[in-house]
Amino acid sequence: MRRLVGGNFARLRQAKGLTQEDVEARSGFSQQYISGLERGQRNPTIITLYELAQALGVSHVELITPQNDET
């Protein structure tokens, strides 16, 4: 699940043309935290997922939904 969330987050962030530093400025989470999340090393709470999704301008559901090639 951590790898799924991290992979989705990285994919969505890049699709929006945002750097980890951009998300840091929007969310208040450190670049180090975001990097760890994307590598699947963080175990975010549902509140954290919601706040990070808001920073990306996406639904929190998109962070936990497997892509077709990940099922």
**Residue 68 pLDDT level (bands cut at 50, 70, 90):** confident
Say yes or no to pLDDT of 60 above 60.
yes
30-42: average pLDDT? 97
**C-alpha dihedral, 25 to 50 to 33 to 36, nearest 10°:** -130
With a CB cutoff of 8 Å and minimum separation 6, the contacts of 62 are 8, 12, 53
Would you say residue 71 has pLDDT above 50? no
Q: What angle do CA 26, 53, 48 make, to 5 degrees?
A: 85
